[in-house]
């Protein structure tokens, strides 16, 4: 008898959702206790369209092939001291930001998708989330293995996860993921799969991966490319999740819209760290933040939301503000990190003249007018009186936790301050976007572990900068401060057999107590 | 020579990450397993209490009765991180694929008597549902457990279980000539047949067990510890009398997987029990309780194949498991 062949779709259905059954000994709501409290109504989990159909055996096969290739390249990279091929040691600071800020989020995604993969009431989304969960573990681990080589030759990487949980600016990425994971499964996937991975991922991966390619970092390029096919699965999951919720019940639409608004803004604020990395930290630049925002958000994102409008979904609230801010974002960030560079786990510097020129060209309306004078002043100051660091602690936004450094959308000379009262206390925000998020769930955001408050409350080793740095495991004089005065640079010049043209320059930098 | 001088001067300034150096007691090169496992999970300074569990932090040691001074004591004897796990599984997957192709091409299943085929179908196919429960249970351990050492291994286990459920489905399709009838019959049996109700009840009870370490003991030690030897050794052995090695070839993955996974399970139990008397007593109590439940749940399945001898078979399996617990983990679960 000729065996009838199941088509891929039928086979996949049998191999996944047919495995589940309607429980009778226990209540379904006890097995999946988190599917209702967020207010999302699901009537039929079977309407879930599997965004990709990958059986486990096929998954092992494809992923193992990728892993074999990737690790053979990582091995070759370390055997050949590939870290010496990057354009300039300044580049490595972008990787420090990546390992301390992004790799821990890959791990958080691993655990968060495990939660979603256990909690969703349908096998379709369970399996998609579970596969993403282990993909994200893969990303975290391949990043550690790649960057392990850099850690052996450069400072700032050595205690990346300790720092991630403590250092002031790393609470920006950490609180972002804590926020998503502490929400329910539907908000989590809206936040991560849709808003972050589908809408904003190009603004994270393009800068780091193309940045790596432009700057001769073959190891990072390799893990980036290797993760790409995983990411395309994650992105399709993001879109399917949104469509599924929107199609299941009309009452889901306003909830989903609210989450899209929130997570767009949260993600956008997180990406402000990437903006400075693109415009200031890459010795060889790929494109400006402004160009990237135009291409990946305004054009691509615009088309996407156009497409979603048939479900009653509109562009995320305050997207216009992001468009106004694109002229300023990276400069304001880098200026802040430059001034607080004694408390950062990477080096900072004033852009060289050619780089200032590039910034002038990319930002003709704003760089020369508002930012170049600042950088030139600081350069002059360093020459005359030594490198200056800001001895105070910045005020942080209660929601995004970025220092209050953003200016009014329509007035780049005024810092933007917003505030709300809750239970007799006043809370401060960097923007209307962050204020709205707080006002919607104040009982959540008052809990935020704000690094500056924590320092004041004595929870970070003490009140002086050396004590706090010790709490951070940030080795003063090695991991932090000015690039020109760094061991990284000295080692680099020695390894590359290059002369230090400024070798006899007096080192004057001090951290003001 | 200039080149020699240049290479000689490119000395690393450290050999591993600081957290790994602290755990090793020295800054010396560390394996890929250790660098990408130690301390990956955040432990402090959480921002918000989970809406779904406001009594705990996002990651919290309080989600189990087991207490450990160091949750990274649960190192995996297999040293699996994503790369080594997936490469290991893909090799096994290759073998499985070849076995399936071999059986398929030579129509070996046609040489097996109808009665034996029916028996094979009746035992193996419904188990794909039990494997799905095992998948969710291990995802639960990954999601709510503490410390990457054990949670990452649980996530691999979870995906392995989905893989096994899919292999069992394939066996069904091979037996029914790709009509899906065996899968439908198997599901019907899982839902309604007397034989399967105690096991289905057990799996549903496990899916509402909240203590993740208890779930680890119940699923990965007690239930797997009795069901895998029952199905893939005893019942497989019984079927061999008529089927030769044909069916065993289809089960090779599961057999090998169980042997390998048991090493991990045993080491987790041994480490937790050695930590304190309280842990040991708690694990023993859980293990006894869930072994009793699993034994009862599997009894009717054993009866399908062994008839009156089922009691003896189950008692033997229970004894072997107790011996394993004693020898490999220092646990007394008689
Ligand atoms: Fe990722
Ligand atoms: Fe992803
Ligand atoms: Zn803010």
pLDDT at residue A396, as a whole number: 98
Residues with CB under 5 A from ligand 2 (ion): A 234
Q: How far is ligand 2, taken at its centre, from the CA of residue A136, in Å?
A: 6
Distances (CA, A) of A97 to A92, A100, A341, B323: 9, 5, 13, 51
Mutate to test the interface with A, among B16, B19, B42, B179 (most CBs of A within 10 A): B42
| Residue B18 within a domain | no
- B177 neighbourhood in chain A, CB within 8 Å: 1, 3-4
Neighbours of A414 (CB within 10 A): 9
Q: Do A114 and B139 touch (CB under 8 A)?
A: yes
Element (H, E) at A274: helix A252-276
Contacts of A5 in chain B (CB under 8 A): 178
Of all ligands present, the nearest one to the C-alpha of A198 is 2
Of B45, B152, B180, the CB nearest to A165: B45
pLDDT recorded at residue A512: 26
Give me the pLDDT at residue A508, please: 31
Candidate from B10, B96, B200 with C-beta closest to A81:
B10
Rounded Cα gap, residues B31 and B305, in angstroms: 47
> Residue B281: pLDDT above 70?
yes
In the reported structure, the alpha carbon of residue A432 is separated from the centroid of ligand 3 by a whole-number distance in angstroms of: 8
| A426: phi then psi, degrees, rounded to nearest 5 | -105, 135
Q: Of A15, A71, A73, which to mutate for an interface test with B (greatest number of B Cβ within 10 Å)?
A: A15
The C-alpha angle with vertex B188 and arms to B187 and B194, in degrees rounded to 5, equals 110
Residue with the bigger pLDDT between B58 and A3: it is: B58
pLDDT in tens, A78-111: 999 999 999 999 999 999 999 999 999 999 999 9
Query: Which residues of A are less than 8 Å from B135 in CB distance?
Result: 130
Q: What is the mean pLDDT of residues B283-310?
A: 98
Interface test with B, best of A69, A137, A157, A171 (most B CBs within 10 A): A137
Give the per-residue pLDDT at A170.
Answer: 98
Spatial distance between the Cα atoms of B216 and B225, rounded to a whole number of angstroms: 12
Report pLDDT digits (tens) over A121-130: 999 999 999 9
Tens-place pLDDT, residues B148-194: 999 999 999 999 999 999 999 999 999 999 999 999 999 999 999 99
At residue B306, φ and ψ (nearest 5 deg) are -105, -5
Q: Is the pLDDT of residue A506 over 80?
A: no
Query: Does B47 contact A448 at a Cβ distance shorter than 8 Å?
Result: yes
* Domain tally, chain B: 1
CATH of domain A55-504: 1.10.620.20
Chain A residues with beta carbon closer than 8 angstroms to that of B160 = 56
Task: Give me chain B's average pLDDT, please.
Answer: 96
Which among A55, A107, A491 has the least Cβ separation from residue B40? A107
Q: For chain A, what is the mean pLDDT? A: 94
Contact between chains at B142 and A133 (C-beta distance less than 8 A): yes
Query: Between A and B, how many CB-CB pairs are < 8 A?
Result: 241
Question: What's residue A317's pLDDT?
Answer: 97
Would the CB atoms of A130 and B15 count as touching at under 8 Å? no
- Do the Cβ atoms of B45 and A449 come within 8 Å? yes
Contacts of B41 in chain A (CB under 8 A): 107, 111
Q: Coil, strand or helix: which one is A421?
A: strand
The per-residue pLDDT for A52 is 84
Opening angle at CA A108, ends A104 and A111, nearest 5: 145
pTM across the whole model: 0.96
CATH classification of the domain holding B180:
1.10.620.20
Residue of B nearest to A496 (CA): B6
Per-residue pLDDT at A511 exceeds 50:
no
Q: What is the mean pLDDT of the segment spanning A191-202?
A: 93
In this prediction, residue A509 carries a pLDDT of 31
Q: Cα B75–B80–B85 angle (5° rounding)?
A: 160
Q: Worst-scoring range by mean pLDDT, A76-85, A202-211, B200-209?
A: A202-211
Instruction: Determine contact: A78 vs chain B, CB below 8 A.
Output: no
User: Is residue B37 domain-resident?
Assistant: no
Residue A501: which pLDDT band, with cuts at 50, 70 and 90? Answer: low
Query: B266 pLDDT exceeds 70?
Result: yes
Which residues of A are less than 8 Å from B148 in CB distance?
107
Q: Is the pLDDT of residue A32 over 70?
A: yes
A185's torsion region: left (phi>0), alpha (psi -120 to 50) or beta?
alpha
Share above pLDDT 70 across residues of chain A, in percent, rounded to a whole number: 96
Q: Indicate the domain borders of chain A.
A: 55-504
Establish if B92 belongs to a structural domain.
Answer: yes
Distance (Å) from CA B36 to ligand 2 centroid: 18
* Residue A245 pLDDT exceeds 90: yes
Question: Among all ligands shown, which has an atom nearest to the Cα of A266?
Answer: 3
> Is A165 an 8 Å CB contact of chain B?
yes
pLDDT at B334: 87
Q: What is the pLDDT of residue A510?
A: 29
Residues A35-63 pLDDT 10s: 999 999 999 999 998 888 899 999 999 99
Q: What is the mean pLDDT of residues B132-156?
A: 98
Give residue-wise pLDDT tens across range A487-497: 999 999 999 98
- Average pLDDT over every residue of A459-468: 95
| CB contact A447 to B (< 8 Å) | yes
A414-430 average pLDDT score: 98
Chain A nearest-CA residue for B161: A56
pLDDT of residue A3: 57
Do B16 and A151 make contact, defined as CB atoms within 8 angstroms? yes
Identify the domain containing residue B316 by its residue range: 82-329
In chain A, whose CA is at the least distance from the CA of B174? Answer: A3
Question: A126 with A118: CB under 8 angstroms?
Answer: yes
Higher-pLDDT residue of A463, B329: B329
**What's the pLDDT band for A205 if we cut at 50, 70, 90?**
confident
Give me ligand 2 centre to Cα A234, in Å. Answer: 5
């Amino acid at each position: 008898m000729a065996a009838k062949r199941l088509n891929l779709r039928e086979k996949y259905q049998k191999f996944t959702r047919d495995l589940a059954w309607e429980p009778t000994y226990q209540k379904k709501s006890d097995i999946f206790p988190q599917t209702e409290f967020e207010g999302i109504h699901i009537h039929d989990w079977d309407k879930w369209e599997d965004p990709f159909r990958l059986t486990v055996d096929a998954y092992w096969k494809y992923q193992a092939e990728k892993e074999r290739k990737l690790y053979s390249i990582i091995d070759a990279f370390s055997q050949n001291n590939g870290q010496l091929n990057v354009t300039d040691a300044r580049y490595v600071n972008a990787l420090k930001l990546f390992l301390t800020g992004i790799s821990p989020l890959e791990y958080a995604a691993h655990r968060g998708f495990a939660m979603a993969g256990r909690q969703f009431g349908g096998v379709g989304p369970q399996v998609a989330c579970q596969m993403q969960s282990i993909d994200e573990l893969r990303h975290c681990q391949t990043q550690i293995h790649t960057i392990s080589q850099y850690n052996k030759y450069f400072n700032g990487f050595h205690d990346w996860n300790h720092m991630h949980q403590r250092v002031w600016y790393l609470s920006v990425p950490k609180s972002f993921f804590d926020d998503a994971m502490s929400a329910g499964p539907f908000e989590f996937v809206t936040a991560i799969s849709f808003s972050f991975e589908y809408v904003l991922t190009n603004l994270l991966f393009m800068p780091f991966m193309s940045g790596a390619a432009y700057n001769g970092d073959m190891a990072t390029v390799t893990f980036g490319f290797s993760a790409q096919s995983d990411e395309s699965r994650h992105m399709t999951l993001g879109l399917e999740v949104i469509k599924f919720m929107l199609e299941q019940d009309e009452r889901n639409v306003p909830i989903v819209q609210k989450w899209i608004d929130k997570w767009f803004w949260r993600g956008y604020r997180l990406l402000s760290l990437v903006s400075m990395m693109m415009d200031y930290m890459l010795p060889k630049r790929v494109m400006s933040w402004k160009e990237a925002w135009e291409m990946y958000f305004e054009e691509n994102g615009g088309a996407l939301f156009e497409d979603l409008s048939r479900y009653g979904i509109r562009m995320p609230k305050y997207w216009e503000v992001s468009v106004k801010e694109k002229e300023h974002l990276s400069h304001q960030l880098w200026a802040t990190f430059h001034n607080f560079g004694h408390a950062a786990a990477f080096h900072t510097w004033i852009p060289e003249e050619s780089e200032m020129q590039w910034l002038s060209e990319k930002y003709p309306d704003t760089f020369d007018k508002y930012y170049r004078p600042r950088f030139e002043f600081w350069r002059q100051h360093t020459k005359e009186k030594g490198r200056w660091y800001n001895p105070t602690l910045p005020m942080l936004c209660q929601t995004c936790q970025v220092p209050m450094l953003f200016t009014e959308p329509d007035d780049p000379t005024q810092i933007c301050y917003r505030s709300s009262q809750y239970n007799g206390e006043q809370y401060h925000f960097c923007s209307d976007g962050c204020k709205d998020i707080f006002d919607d769930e104040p009982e959540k955001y008052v809990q935020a572990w704000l690094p500056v408050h924590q320092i004041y409350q004595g929870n970070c080793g003490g009140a002086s900068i050396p004590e706090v740095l010790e709490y951070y495991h940030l080795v003063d004089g090695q991991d932090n401060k000015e690039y020109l005065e760094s061991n990284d640079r000295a080692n680099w010049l020695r390894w590359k057999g290059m002369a230090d043209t400024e070798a006899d320059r007096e080192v004057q930098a001090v951290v003001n107590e | 020579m200039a080149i020699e001088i240049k290479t000689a001067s490119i000395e690393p300034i450290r050999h591993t990450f600081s957290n790994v150096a602290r755990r090793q007691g020295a800054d010396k090169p560390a394996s890929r397993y250790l660098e990408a496992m130690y301390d990956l999970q955040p432990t402090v300074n959480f921002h918000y209490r989970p809406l779904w569990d406001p009594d705990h932090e996002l990651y919290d040691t309080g989600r189990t009765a087991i207490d450990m001074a160091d949750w990274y004591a649960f190192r995996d004897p297999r040293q699996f991180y994503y790369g080594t796990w997936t490469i290991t599984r893909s090799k096994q997957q290759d073998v499985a694929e070849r076995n399936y192709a071999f059986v398929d091409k030579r129509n070996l299943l046609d040489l097996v008597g109808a009665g034996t085929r029916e028996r094979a179908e009746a035992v193996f196919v419904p188990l794909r549902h039990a494997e799905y429960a095992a998948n969710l249970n291990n995802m639960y351990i990954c999601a709510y457990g503490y410390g990457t050492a054990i949670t990452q291994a649980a996530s691999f286990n979870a995906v392995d279980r989905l893989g096994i459920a899919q292999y069992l489905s394939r066996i069904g399709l091979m037996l029914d000539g790709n009509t899906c009838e065996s899968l439908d019959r198997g599901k019907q049996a899982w839902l309604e047949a007397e034989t399967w109700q105690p096991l289905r009840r057990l799996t549903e009870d496990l899916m509402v067990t909240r203590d993740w370490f208890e779930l680890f003991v119940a699923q990965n030690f007690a239930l797997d510890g009795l069901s895998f030897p029952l199905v893939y050794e005893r019942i497989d052995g019984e079927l061999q009398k008529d089927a030769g090695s044909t069916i065993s070839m289809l089960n090779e993955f599961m057999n090998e997987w169980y042997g390998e996974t048991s090493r991990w399970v045993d080491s987790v139990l041994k480490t937790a029990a050695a930590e304190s008397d309280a842990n040991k007593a708690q694990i023993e109590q859980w293990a006894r309780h869930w072994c009793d439940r699993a034994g009862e749940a599997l009894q009717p399945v054993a009866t399908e194949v062994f008839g009156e001898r089922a009691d003896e078979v189950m008692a033997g399996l229970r004894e072997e498991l107790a011996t394993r617990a004693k020898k490999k983990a220092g646990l007394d679960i008689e």
